[in-house]
Amino acid sequence: MGSIASGCKNQRYAFELCGCGAAQRLLGRYGVVRNYGPHGLQLAYVGAGRLDVFLQAGRDLENWLPGLLIAREAGAEVLTATGQPWHWFADSLLVAAPGLGSAFQQAQSTIQ
């Protein structure tokens, strides 16, 4: 089991925005869904291997940038919440440990 961090204080709201279904169904696959505080820190944790996935619906580029750089340099997958390659104007962010982005997307599709 892995762990998912969400950039939204209300986890259920964050997953509904992303079309992921109820957070409880994700818990069956991932074990922990929580918010660890600053987004940059959570993204750096993905890069360091302390978290498996970071997911945020909504745009927060200024808070993402420092941790996004660390995660990307460490080899993390950087996508939108719908699994598309992330770009500067994206309104969501999904950062996953190498190889977990597609697995997370598959898990989302099986619980919708």
Interval 37-84: pLDDT, tens? 788 898 999 999 888 888 888 888 888 999 999 999 999 999 998 889
Q: What is the mean pLDDT of residues 104-109?
A: 70
Q: What band does 19 get if pLDDT is binned at 50, 70 and 90? A: very low
pLDDT of residue 59: 84
pLDDT above 90: residue 106 = no
Contacts of 34 (CB under 8 A, 6+ apart): 3, 4, 5, 6, 11
Asked if residue 9 lies in contact with residue 38, where contact means CB atoms within 8 angstroms, the answer is no
User: Can you give the pLDDT at residue 57?
Assistant: 81
Q: Hey, where are the domains in the chain? A: 3-92+104-111
pTM of the model: 0.73
CATH of domain 3-92+104-111: 3.40.190.80
Report how far residue 32's alpha carbon sits from residue 30's, in angstroms, rounded to the nearest whole number.
Answer: 6
What letter represents residue 1's amino acid?
A: M
In this structure, how many other beta carbons lie within 10 angstroms of the beta carbon of residue 68?
23
Q: CA 83, 21, 101 angle in degrees (round to 5)? A: 25
